[in-house]
Homo-oligomer: A and B are copies of this chain.
Amino acid sequence: MTGSLDTTKLRLALLCAAVATSFLPAGAHAAASGESIALEGIAAAAPACATCHGRNGEGGGDGLYPRLAGLPAAYLRRELALFRDGVRKNPLMMPMAKGLTDADIAAVAEYFSAKSVPFPPAPPADSSVLERGQVLVTVGAWERGIPPCRDCHGPALQGVPPDIPGLAGQWQQYLVAQLESYRSAARSSDALGLMRRVARGLTDSDMHAVAAYIANLRPDTLPTPPRPAVLEPYTPRAQSADSFVPPPDAAIPAGPFGDLVRLGQNIFQDTPRYATDFVGNTLSCRNCHLDRGRAAESAPMWAAYVHYPEYRKKDNLVNTLQLRIQGCFRYSQNGTAPPADHQVLTALVSYLYWMSAGLPVGIKPKSANYPPLPDPKLAPSRERGAAVYAASCALCHGEDGQGRSSGGKTVFPALWGPQSFNWGAGMHQLDKAAAFIRRNMPLGAGGMLTDQEAWDVAAYMNSHPRPQDPRFTRDVETTRELYHRGHDYDLYGREVDGQVLGAPAPGSQ
Protein backbone atom coordinates (compact mmCIF):
# COMPACT_ATOMS: atom_id res chain seq x y z
CA MET A 1 0.00 0.00 0.00
CA THR A 2 2.78 2.40 0.83
CA GLY A 3 4.34 1.46 -2.52
CA SER A 4 1.19 2.69 -4.12
CA LEU A 5 1.53 5.93 -2.25
CA ASP A 6 5.15 6.23 -3.33
CA THR A 7 4.12 5.83 -6.93
CA THR A 8 1.62 8.59 -6.46
CA LYS A 9 4.31 10.76 -4.97
CA LEU A 10 6.55 10.05 -7.89
CA ARG A 11 3.89 10.99 -10.33
CA LEU A 12 3.13 14.11 -8.38
CA ALA A 13 6.79 15.08 -8.59
CA LEU A 14 6.57 14.65 -12.35
CA LEU A 15 3.38 16.64 -12.44
CA CYS A 16 5.18 19.45 -10.71
CA ALA A 17 8.15 19.45 -13.01
CA ALA A 18 6.72 22.04 -15.30
CA VAL A 19 6.03 24.61 -12.61
CA ALA A 20 8.66 26.69 -10.80
CA THR A 21 7.64 25.76 -7.29
CA SER A 22 6.02 22.52 -6.16
CA PHE A 23 5.17 21.45 -2.65
CA LEU A 24 3.57 18.52 -0.92
CA PRO A 25 1.53 19.13 2.20
CA ALA A 26 2.85 17.38 5.32
CA GLY A 27 -0.33 15.36 5.96
CA ALA A 28 -0.47 13.85 2.51
CA HIS A 29 1.61 10.81 3.34
CA ALA A 30 0.39 10.14 6.87
CA ALA A 31 -3.29 10.04 6.05
CA ALA A 32 -2.99 7.87 2.97
CA SER A 33 -3.98 4.23 3.31
CA GLY A 34 -6.22 1.52 1.75
CA GLU A 35 -9.14 2.40 -0.48
CA SER A 36 -8.97 6.04 0.47
CA ILE A 37 -5.81 6.44 -1.53
CA ALA A 38 -7.36 7.88 -4.60
CA LEU A 39 -9.08 10.70 -2.81
CA GLU A 40 -6.17 11.25 -0.47
CA GLY A 41 -3.90 11.14 -3.42
CA ILE A 42 -5.90 13.87 -5.03
CA ALA A 43 -5.73 15.95 -1.88
CA ALA A 44 -2.03 15.63 -2.45
CA ALA A 45 -2.16 16.14 -6.19
CA ALA A 46 -4.33 19.22 -5.92
CA PRO A 47 -1.51 21.54 -4.97
CA ALA A 48 0.39 20.49 -8.07
CA CYS A 49 -2.56 21.46 -10.23
CA ALA A 50 -3.19 24.31 -7.81
CA THR A 51 -0.10 26.19 -8.82
CA CYS A 52 -1.84 27.17 -12.00
CA HIS A 53 -5.47 26.25 -11.47
CA GLY A 54 -5.68 27.33 -7.84
CA ARG A 55 -6.19 25.15 -4.82
CA ASN A 56 -9.94 24.95 -5.45
CA GLY A 57 -9.74 25.01 -9.19
CA GLU A 58 -10.56 28.69 -9.52
CA GLY A 59 -8.05 29.07 -12.35
CA GLY A 60 -5.58 31.88 -12.53
CA GLY A 61 -3.07 33.87 -14.46
CA ASP A 62 -5.95 36.16 -15.36
CA GLY A 63 -7.36 33.35 -17.39
CA LEU A 64 -4.17 31.81 -18.68
CA TYR A 65 -5.18 28.80 -16.59
CA PRO A 66 -8.80 27.80 -16.71
CA ARG A 67 -11.18 27.43 -13.88
CA LEU A 68 -11.80 23.74 -13.20
CA ALA A 69 -14.09 23.99 -10.19
CA GLY A 70 -17.51 22.52 -10.80
CA LEU A 71 -16.80 21.20 -14.30
CA PRO A 72 -18.41 17.81 -14.89
CA ALA A 73 -16.09 15.07 -13.66
CA ALA A 74 -16.52 13.08 -16.86
CA TYR A 75 -15.47 16.09 -18.89
CA LEU A 76 -12.36 16.61 -16.75
CA ARG A 77 -11.53 12.92 -17.01
CA ARG A 78 -11.86 12.98 -20.75
CA GLU A 79 -9.73 16.07 -21.20
CA LEU A 80 -7.00 14.89 -18.81
CA ALA A 81 -6.86 11.58 -20.61
CA LEU A 82 -6.61 13.41 -23.92
CA PHE A 83 -3.66 15.44 -22.57
CA ARG A 84 -2.08 12.30 -21.24
CA ASP A 85 -2.51 10.47 -24.51
CA GLY A 86 -1.26 13.40 -26.55
CA VAL A 87 -4.50 13.85 -28.37
CA ARG A 88 -5.24 17.26 -26.90
CA LYS A 89 -2.01 19.05 -27.42
CA ASN A 90 -0.75 21.48 -24.82
CA PRO A 91 2.89 22.02 -23.83
CA LEU A 92 2.05 22.54 -20.16
CA MET A 93 -0.59 19.89 -19.69
CA MET A 94 0.78 17.04 -21.76
CA PRO A 95 3.82 16.44 -19.52
CA MET A 96 1.70 17.02 -16.43
CA ALA A 97 -0.79 14.36 -17.45
CA LYS A 98 1.67 11.96 -18.97
CA GLY A 99 2.09 9.54 -16.08
CA LEU A 100 -1.42 9.61 -14.70
CA THR A 101 -3.38 6.40 -14.39
CA ASP A 102 -7.06 6.32 -15.12
CA ALA A 103 -7.61 6.19 -11.39
CA ASP A 104 -5.49 9.29 -10.85
CA ILE A 105 -7.39 11.10 -13.51
CA ALA A 106 -10.69 10.04 -12.01
CA ALA A 107 -9.61 11.25 -8.60
CA VAL A 108 -8.40 14.62 -9.88
CA ALA A 109 -11.55 15.08 -11.89
CA GLU A 110 -13.74 14.19 -8.94
CA TYR A 111 -11.83 16.59 -6.74
CA PHE A 112 -12.24 19.65 -8.92
CA SER A 113 -15.71 18.78 -10.05
CA ALA A 114 -16.90 18.88 -6.45
CA LYS A 115 -15.44 22.32 -5.80
CA SER A 116 -17.48 25.48 -5.74
CA VAL A 117 -15.66 28.78 -5.79
CA PRO A 118 -16.65 32.37 -6.51
CA PHE A 119 -16.57 33.60 -10.06
CA PRO A 120 -13.57 35.67 -11.07
CA PRO A 121 -14.17 39.43 -11.12
CA ALA A 122 -16.19 40.61 -14.10
CA PRO A 123 -13.85 42.15 -16.65
CA PRO A 124 -14.74 45.58 -18.01
CA ALA A 125 -16.60 45.58 -21.33
CA ASP A 126 -18.58 47.93 -23.51
CA SER A 127 -22.31 47.41 -23.35
CA SER A 128 -22.46 46.95 -27.12
CA VAL A 129 -19.89 44.17 -26.87
CA LEU A 130 -21.82 42.55 -24.03
CA GLU A 131 -25.04 42.71 -26.00
CA ARG A 132 -23.42 41.10 -28.98
CA GLY A 133 -22.14 38.33 -26.74
CA GLN A 134 -25.55 38.00 -25.14
CA VAL A 135 -27.09 37.41 -28.55
CA LEU A 136 -24.58 34.68 -29.36
CA VAL A 137 -25.12 33.02 -26.00
CA THR A 138 -28.90 33.12 -26.04
CA VAL A 139 -29.95 33.34 -29.67
CA GLY A 140 -26.92 32.21 -31.65
CA ALA A 141 -26.33 32.99 -35.28
CA TRP A 142 -27.98 30.08 -37.00
CA GLU A 143 -27.55 31.63 -40.39
CA ARG A 144 -23.83 30.96 -39.82
CA GLY A 145 -24.46 27.55 -38.30
CA ILE A 146 -24.04 28.77 -34.74
CA PRO A 147 -26.56 27.61 -32.16
CA PRO A 148 -26.66 29.66 -28.96
CA CYS A 149 -24.11 28.55 -26.34
CA ARG A 150 -26.86 27.91 -23.84
CA ASP A 151 -28.52 25.30 -26.05
CA CYS A 152 -25.67 22.90 -25.26
CA HIS A 153 -23.95 24.32 -22.20
CA GLY A 154 -27.16 24.71 -20.23
CA PRO A 155 -29.50 27.63 -19.58
CA ALA A 156 -27.11 29.24 -17.07
CA LEU A 157 -24.06 27.94 -19.01
CA GLN A 158 -23.50 25.80 -15.95
CA GLY A 159 -22.58 22.75 -18.03
CA VAL A 160 -24.53 19.62 -18.75
CA PRO A 161 -23.07 16.53 -17.09
CA PRO A 162 -21.55 14.23 -17.94
CA ASP A 163 -19.89 15.57 -21.06
CA ILE A 164 -20.48 19.25 -21.54
CA PRO A 165 -18.47 21.75 -19.53
CA GLY A 166 -19.92 24.80 -17.90
CA LEU A 167 -18.83 28.16 -19.21
CA ALA A 168 -20.18 30.39 -16.46
CA GLY A 169 -17.40 31.50 -14.15
CA GLN A 170 -14.74 30.80 -16.72
CA TRP A 171 -12.05 33.37 -17.45
CA GLN A 172 -12.52 35.55 -20.50
CA GLN A 173 -9.00 35.01 -21.80
CA TYR A 174 -9.31 31.25 -21.56
CA LEU A 175 -12.62 31.27 -23.42
CA VAL A 176 -11.16 33.31 -26.25
CA ALA A 177 -8.09 31.10 -26.42
CA GLN A 178 -10.18 27.94 -26.65
CA LEU A 179 -12.42 29.36 -29.34
CA GLU A 180 -9.36 30.36 -31.31
CA SER A 181 -7.89 26.90 -30.86
CA TYR A 182 -11.09 25.30 -32.06
CA ARG A 183 -11.18 27.58 -35.03
CA SER A 184 -7.60 26.77 -36.02
CA ALA A 185 -8.21 23.13 -35.09
CA ALA A 186 -5.22 23.31 -32.73
CA ARG A 187 -7.77 21.89 -30.32
CA SER A 188 -9.44 19.20 -32.34
CA SER A 189 -10.56 16.70 -29.80
CA ASP A 190 -14.04 18.17 -29.37
CA ALA A 191 -16.80 15.62 -29.53
CA LEU A 192 -18.20 15.30 -33.06
CA GLY A 193 -16.20 18.38 -34.02
CA LEU A 194 -19.09 20.46 -32.76
CA MET A 195 -17.02 23.25 -31.27
CA ARG A 196 -14.76 23.46 -34.30
CA ARG A 197 -17.85 24.00 -36.45
CA VAL A 198 -19.11 26.71 -34.17
CA ALA A 199 -15.75 28.43 -33.90
CA ARG A 200 -15.26 28.47 -37.65
CA GLY A 201 -18.37 30.62 -37.86
CA LEU A 202 -17.14 33.16 -35.33
CA THR A 203 -15.11 36.28 -36.07
CA ASP A 204 -12.46 37.56 -33.68
CA SER A 205 -14.84 40.13 -32.35
CA ASP A 206 -17.58 37.52 -31.93
CA MET A 207 -15.18 35.50 -29.81
CA HIS A 208 -14.25 38.52 -27.77
CA ALA A 209 -17.90 39.46 -27.31
CA VAL A 210 -19.11 36.04 -26.29
CA ALA A 211 -16.23 35.56 -23.89
CA ALA A 212 -16.73 39.00 -22.37
CA TYR A 213 -20.43 38.37 -21.89
CA ILE A 214 -19.84 34.98 -20.27
CA ALA A 215 -17.10 36.32 -18.03
CA ASN A 216 -19.50 39.01 -16.90
CA LEU A 217 -22.20 36.55 -15.90
CA ARG A 218 -22.67 36.23 -12.17
CA PRO A 219 -23.63 32.95 -10.48
CA ASP A 220 -27.23 31.88 -10.99
CA THR A 221 -28.03 34.51 -13.58
CA LEU A 222 -29.90 33.04 -16.49
CA PRO A 223 -28.87 34.64 -19.74
CA THR A 224 -31.86 35.80 -21.73
CA PRO A 225 -31.96 37.36 -25.17
CA PRO A 226 -31.31 41.08 -25.07
CA ARG A 227 -34.25 43.38 -25.40
CA PRO A 228 -32.88 46.46 -27.08
CA ALA A 229 -33.80 49.78 -25.52
CA VAL A 230 -34.16 51.27 -28.97
CA LEU A 231 -36.35 49.37 -31.36
CA GLU A 232 -34.83 48.41 -34.64
CA PRO A 233 -36.78 50.17 -37.38
CA TYR A 234 -38.31 47.43 -39.46
CA THR A 235 -40.70 47.67 -42.34
CA PRO A 236 -41.80 44.30 -43.61
CA ARG A 237 -41.53 43.90 -47.35
CA ALA A 238 -42.95 41.24 -49.59
CA GLN A 239 -40.56 38.29 -49.82
CA SER A 240 -40.48 34.93 -51.48
CA ALA A 241 -40.46 31.80 -49.34
CA ASP A 242 -37.46 30.56 -51.32
CA SER A 243 -35.18 33.10 -49.74
CA PHE A 244 -37.21 34.26 -46.81
CA VAL A 245 -35.54 36.09 -43.96
CA PRO A 246 -37.84 36.47 -40.97
CA PRO A 247 -37.69 39.77 -39.08
CA PRO A 248 -35.03 40.14 -36.40
CA ASP A 249 -36.11 39.83 -32.78
CA ALA A 250 -35.19 43.46 -32.35
CA ALA A 251 -38.12 44.26 -34.63
CA ILE A 252 -40.67 42.89 -32.17
CA PRO A 253 -42.61 46.07 -31.48
CA ALA A 254 -43.32 47.66 -28.14
CA GLY A 255 -46.85 47.48 -26.80
CA PRO A 256 -49.39 44.72 -26.23
CA PHE A 257 -48.91 43.04 -29.60
CA GLY A 258 -45.13 42.89 -29.17
CA ASP A 259 -45.58 41.65 -25.62
CA LEU A 260 -47.72 38.79 -26.87
CA VAL A 261 -45.24 37.96 -29.63
CA ARG A 262 -42.51 37.81 -26.99
CA LEU A 263 -44.67 35.59 -24.82
CA GLY A 264 -45.25 33.38 -27.83
CA GLN A 265 -41.52 33.16 -28.38
CA ASN A 266 -40.98 32.26 -24.74
CA ILE A 267 -43.63 29.54 -24.96
CA PHE A 268 -41.96 28.29 -28.11
CA GLN A 269 -38.55 28.19 -26.47
CA ASP A 270 -39.51 26.80 -23.08
CA THR A 271 -42.92 25.26 -23.40
CA PRO A 272 -42.98 23.36 -20.10
CA ARG A 273 -42.32 26.60 -18.24
CA TYR A 274 -44.58 28.98 -20.15
CA ALA A 275 -47.42 26.61 -21.02
CA THR A 276 -47.12 24.32 -18.02
CA ASP A 277 -50.75 23.28 -17.92
CA PHE A 278 -50.69 21.88 -21.42
CA VAL A 279 -47.39 20.04 -21.58
CA GLY A 280 -47.07 16.44 -20.44
CA ASN A 281 -43.36 15.98 -21.02
CA THR A 282 -40.16 18.01 -21.09
CA LEU A 283 -40.23 18.97 -24.76
CA SER A 284 -40.46 22.46 -26.18
CA CYS A 285 -41.59 23.60 -29.61
CA ARG A 286 -38.00 24.57 -30.39
CA ASN A 287 -36.82 20.96 -30.09
CA CYS A 288 -38.33 20.12 -33.47
CA HIS A 289 -38.22 23.63 -34.95
CA LEU A 290 -34.73 25.02 -34.44
CA ASP A 291 -33.59 28.60 -34.13
CA ARG A 292 -36.76 29.70 -32.40
CA GLY A 293 -38.81 28.21 -35.21
CA ARG A 294 -36.90 30.08 -37.89
CA ALA A 295 -34.51 27.49 -39.34
CA ALA A 296 -35.49 26.75 -42.92
CA GLU A 297 -34.64 23.05 -42.68
CA SER A 298 -36.60 22.26 -39.55
CA ALA A 299 -40.11 23.08 -40.74
CA PRO A 300 -39.97 26.76 -39.79
CA MET A 301 -42.95 28.50 -38.34
CA TRP A 302 -43.05 31.18 -41.03
CA ALA A 303 -43.53 28.46 -43.60
CA ALA A 304 -46.27 26.95 -41.47
CA TYR A 305 -48.16 30.18 -40.86
CA VAL A 306 -49.02 30.91 -44.45
CA HIS A 307 -50.72 27.63 -45.34
CA TYR A 308 -53.36 27.33 -42.63
CA PRO A 309 -56.30 26.73 -42.53
CA GLU A 310 -55.56 23.46 -44.31
CA TYR A 311 -57.23 20.10 -44.47
CA ARG A 312 -55.32 17.36 -42.63
CA LYS A 313 -55.90 13.69 -43.10
CA LYS A 314 -54.61 13.10 -39.60
CA ASP A 315 -57.80 14.35 -37.98
CA ASN A 316 -59.92 14.58 -41.12
CA LEU A 317 -60.56 18.25 -40.41
CA VAL A 318 -59.71 21.59 -41.86
CA ASN A 319 -57.15 22.78 -39.34
CA THR A 320 -56.90 26.38 -38.36
CA LEU A 321 -53.44 27.28 -37.15
CA GLN A 322 -54.80 27.02 -33.64
CA LEU A 323 -56.08 23.49 -34.19
CA ARG A 324 -52.78 22.54 -35.76
CA ILE A 325 -50.86 23.80 -32.74
CA GLN A 326 -53.31 22.07 -30.42
CA GLY A 327 -52.15 18.89 -32.13
CA CYS A 328 -48.55 19.63 -31.12
CA PHE A 329 -49.60 19.92 -27.51
CA ARG A 330 -51.60 16.73 -27.67
CA TYR A 331 -49.02 14.57 -29.42
CA SER A 332 -45.53 16.02 -29.53
CA GLN A 333 -45.82 17.45 -26.07
CA ASN A 334 -47.97 14.55 -24.84
CA GLY A 335 -50.20 17.04 -23.10
CA THR A 336 -53.56 18.71 -23.39
CA ALA A 337 -54.75 21.09 -26.07
CA PRO A 338 -55.16 24.65 -24.80
CA PRO A 339 -58.65 25.99 -25.56
CA ALA A 340 -58.82 27.62 -28.99
CA ASP A 341 -58.86 31.14 -27.58
CA HIS A 342 -56.42 30.52 -24.74
CA GLN A 343 -53.63 33.05 -24.40
CA VAL A 344 -51.06 30.31 -25.00
CA LEU A 345 -52.42 29.72 -28.49
CA THR A 346 -53.01 33.38 -29.22
CA ALA A 347 -49.43 34.14 -28.20
CA LEU A 348 -48.04 31.35 -30.37
CA VAL A 349 -50.20 32.38 -33.32
CA SER A 350 -49.07 35.98 -32.84
CA TYR A 351 -45.44 34.90 -32.76
CA LEU A 352 -45.83 32.86 -35.92
CA TYR A 353 -47.71 35.68 -37.62
CA TRP A 354 -45.07 38.20 -36.68
CA MET A 355 -42.35 35.91 -37.97
CA SER A 356 -44.05 35.49 -41.34
CA ALA A 357 -44.19 39.17 -42.23
CA GLY A 358 -43.88 39.61 -45.96
CA LEU A 359 -44.60 36.03 -47.02
CA PRO A 360 -47.54 35.52 -49.36
CA VAL A 361 -50.62 33.89 -47.88
CA GLY A 362 -51.76 30.59 -49.32
CA ILE A 363 -48.59 29.67 -51.17
CA LYS A 364 -47.23 26.69 -49.28
CA PRO A 365 -43.46 27.01 -49.04
CA LYS A 366 -41.37 23.95 -49.80
CA SER A 367 -39.83 24.36 -46.40
CA ALA A 368 -43.17 23.84 -44.68
CA ASN A 369 -42.07 20.25 -44.21
CA TYR A 370 -38.67 18.85 -43.29
CA PRO A 371 -36.73 18.44 -46.54
CA PRO A 372 -37.87 14.97 -47.59
CA LEU A 373 -35.36 12.14 -47.70
CA PRO A 374 -35.22 9.66 -50.56
CA ASP A 375 -36.39 6.18 -49.64
CA PRO A 376 -33.65 4.33 -47.83
CA LYS A 377 -31.43 2.01 -49.88
CA LEU A 378 -31.48 -0.54 -47.09
CA ALA A 379 -34.48 -1.11 -44.90
CA PRO A 380 -33.93 1.04 -41.81
CA SER A 381 -32.13 -1.01 -39.18
CA ARG A 382 -32.33 -0.31 -35.50
CA GLU A 383 -29.17 -2.35 -34.99
CA ARG A 384 -27.16 -0.11 -37.30
CA GLY A 385 -29.07 2.80 -35.82
CA ALA A 386 -27.90 1.90 -32.34
CA ALA A 387 -24.31 2.36 -33.46
CA VAL A 388 -25.11 5.69 -35.07
CA TYR A 389 -26.89 6.71 -31.91
CA ALA A 390 -23.96 5.80 -29.67
CA ALA A 391 -21.54 7.67 -31.88
CA SER A 392 -23.50 10.79 -32.67
CA CYS A 393 -26.53 11.21 -30.41
CA ALA A 394 -25.81 9.83 -26.97
CA LEU A 395 -23.47 12.72 -26.18
CA CYS A 396 -26.49 15.01 -25.84
CA HIS A 397 -29.53 12.77 -25.57
CA GLY A 398 -27.89 10.26 -23.22
CA GLU A 399 -27.20 6.60 -23.74
CA ASP A 400 -30.64 5.88 -22.37
CA GLY A 401 -32.31 8.36 -24.71
CA GLN A 402 -33.76 10.26 -21.80
CA GLY A 403 -32.10 13.53 -22.70
CA ARG A 404 -30.05 15.64 -20.34
CA SER A 405 -30.90 18.36 -17.94
CA SER A 406 -28.93 20.82 -15.94
CA GLY A 407 -29.96 22.81 -12.93
CA GLY A 408 -33.41 21.21 -13.14
CA LYS A 409 -33.90 22.42 -16.72
CA THR A 410 -34.09 20.16 -19.71
CA VAL A 411 -31.29 20.93 -22.10
CA PHE A 412 -31.55 18.00 -24.51
CA PRO A 413 -34.93 16.37 -24.98
CA ALA A 414 -35.80 12.77 -24.20
CA LEU A 415 -36.17 10.77 -27.40
CA TRP A 416 -38.30 8.00 -25.95
CA GLY A 417 -39.86 6.99 -22.69
CA PRO A 418 -42.37 8.88 -20.56
CA GLN A 419 -40.83 12.32 -21.09
CA SER A 420 -40.84 12.13 -24.88
CA PHE A 421 -43.41 12.63 -27.62
CA ASN A 422 -46.16 10.06 -27.80
CA TRP A 423 -47.14 7.56 -30.49
CA GLY A 424 -49.45 10.11 -32.09
CA ALA A 425 -46.71 12.68 -32.81
CA GLY A 426 -45.42 13.16 -36.32
CA MET A 427 -41.88 12.46 -35.14
CA HIS A 428 -42.76 8.84 -34.45
CA GLN A 429 -43.01 8.32 -38.21
CA LEU A 430 -39.63 7.23 -39.48
CA ASP A 431 -39.75 9.34 -42.62
CA LYS A 432 -40.38 12.52 -40.65
CA ALA A 433 -37.86 11.68 -37.97
CA ALA A 434 -35.20 10.66 -40.48
CA ALA A 435 -35.77 13.83 -42.51
CA PHE A 436 -35.47 15.97 -39.41
CA ILE A 437 -32.36 14.19 -38.17
CA ARG A 438 -30.65 14.21 -41.53
CA ARG A 439 -30.71 17.97 -41.83
CA ASN A 440 -30.68 19.14 -38.25
CA MET A 441 -28.84 16.71 -36.01
CA PRO A 442 -26.52 16.82 -34.15
CA LEU A 443 -27.52 20.30 -33.05
CA GLY A 444 -25.58 22.83 -35.09
CA ALA A 445 -24.07 20.09 -37.21
CA GLY A 446 -26.93 18.97 -39.41
CA GLY A 447 -25.77 17.14 -42.50
CA MET A 448 -23.15 15.11 -40.68
CA LEU A 449 -25.05 11.83 -41.04
CA THR A 450 -25.74 10.05 -44.30
CA ASP A 451 -29.28 9.45 -45.48
CA GLN A 452 -29.02 5.82 -44.48
CA GLU A 453 -27.66 6.69 -41.04
CA ALA A 454 -30.56 9.05 -40.53
CA TRP A 455 -33.06 6.34 -41.45
CA ASP A 456 -31.30 3.84 -39.23
CA VAL A 457 -31.04 6.04 -36.20
CA ALA A 458 -34.68 7.08 -36.61
CA ALA A 459 -35.55 3.38 -36.58
CA TYR A 460 -33.48 2.95 -33.43
CA MET A 461 -35.15 5.92 -31.74
CA ASN A 462 -38.64 4.84 -32.64
CA SER A 463 -38.22 1.21 -31.71
CA HIS A 464 -38.35 2.19 -28.05
CA PRO A 465 -41.44 2.57 -25.90
CA ARG A 466 -43.11 5.94 -25.62
CA PRO A 467 -46.41 7.31 -24.28
CA GLN A 468 -49.58 5.88 -25.78
CA ASP A 469 -51.28 7.44 -28.79
CA PRO A 470 -54.05 9.52 -27.21
CA ARG A 471 -56.38 8.29 -29.96
CA PHE A 472 -55.93 4.75 -28.63
CA THR A 473 -59.04 2.76 -29.41
CA ARG A 474 -59.74 -0.71 -28.02
CA ASP A 475 -56.35 -2.29 -28.70
CA VAL A 476 -53.10 -1.60 -30.46
CA GLU A 477 -54.18 -3.43 -33.65
CA THR A 478 -57.35 -1.38 -33.95
CA THR A 479 -55.49 1.81 -33.20
CA ARG A 480 -52.85 1.00 -35.77
CA GLU A 481 -55.53 0.25 -38.33
CA LEU A 482 -57.36 3.49 -37.56
CA TYR A 483 -54.48 5.90 -37.31
CA HIS A 484 -51.23 4.33 -38.41
CA ARG A 485 -52.19 2.59 -41.59
CA GLY A 486 -50.24 3.28 -44.73
CA HIS A 487 -47.08 4.35 -43.00
CA ASP A 488 -44.65 1.58 -43.82
CA TYR A 489 -42.07 2.77 -41.40
CA ASP A 490 -44.45 3.51 -38.58
CA LEU A 491 -43.40 1.14 -35.82
CA TYR A 492 -46.53 1.55 -33.71
CA GLY A 493 -48.03 -1.89 -33.17
CA ARG A 494 -44.96 -3.64 -34.55
CA GLU A 495 -43.12 -6.24 -32.54
CA VAL A 496 -39.61 -5.37 -31.39
CA ASP A 497 -37.67 -7.73 -29.13
CA GLY A 498 -40.80 -9.68 -28.37
CA GLN A 499 -42.70 -6.56 -27.30
CA VAL A 500 -45.41 -4.90 -29.34
CA LEU A 501 -44.65 -1.20 -29.51
CA GLY A 502 -47.52 0.85 -28.20
CA ALA A 503 -49.20 -2.12 -26.54
CA PRO A 504 -50.50 -1.16 -23.13
CA ALA A 505 -48.77 -2.84 -20.21
CA PRO A 506 -50.78 -5.86 -19.10
CA GLY A 507 -53.55 -4.84 -16.73
CA SER A 508 -53.23 -1.15 -17.56
CA GLN A 509 -56.41 -1.01 -19.59
Q: Which residue of B lies closest to A360 (CB)?
A: B238
Q: Does A497 contact B (CB under 8 A)?
A: no
Contact assessment for B362 and A318 in the assembled complex, using a CB-CB cutoff below 8 Å: no
Q: Which residue of B lies closest to A361 (CB)?
A: B356
How many A residues touch B, CB cutoff 8 Å?
A: 37
Chain B residues contacting A316 (CB-CB under 8 Å) are: 256
Contact assessment for A341 and B359 in the assembled complex, using a CB-CB cutoff below 8 Å: no
Contact assessment for A341 and B318 in the assembled complex, using a CB-CB cutoff below 8 Å: no
- By secondary structure, the A interface counts as loop
Instruction: Kindly report how many copies of this chain are found in the complex they form together.
Output: 2
Q: Does A260 contact B (CB under 8 A)?
A: yes
Binds B, one of A4-12, A187-195, A347-355, A442-450: A347-355
How many angstroms between the C-alpha atoms of A358 and B308 in the bound complex? 13
Q: Does A178 contact B (CB under 8 A)?
A: no
Q: Does A340 contact B (CB under 8 A)?
A: yes
Of the residues B239, B256, B305, contact of A318 by C-beta under 8 Å: B256
6 A-B contacts (beta carbon < 8 Å): A238-B240, A238-B360, A255-B311, A257-B310, A306-B361, A357-B361
Within 8 A of B (CB), among A349-407: 349-350, 353-354, 356-363
Contact assessment for A357 and B353 in the assembled complex, using a CB-CB cutoff below 8 Å: no
Of the residues B309, B356, B358, B360, contact of A257 by C-beta under 8 Å: B309
A361 in contact with B305 given A238-B238, A323-B341, A349-B320 (CB within 8 Å): yes
Q: Does A287 contact B (CB under 8 A)?
A: no
Chain B residues contacting A317 (CB-CB under 8 Å) are: 256
Q: Does A346 contact B (CB under 8 A)?
A: yes
Of the residues B236, B311, B322, B349, contact of A363 by C-beta under 8 Å: B236
Contact assessment for A353 and B362 in the assembled complex, using a CB-CB cutoff below 8 Å: yes
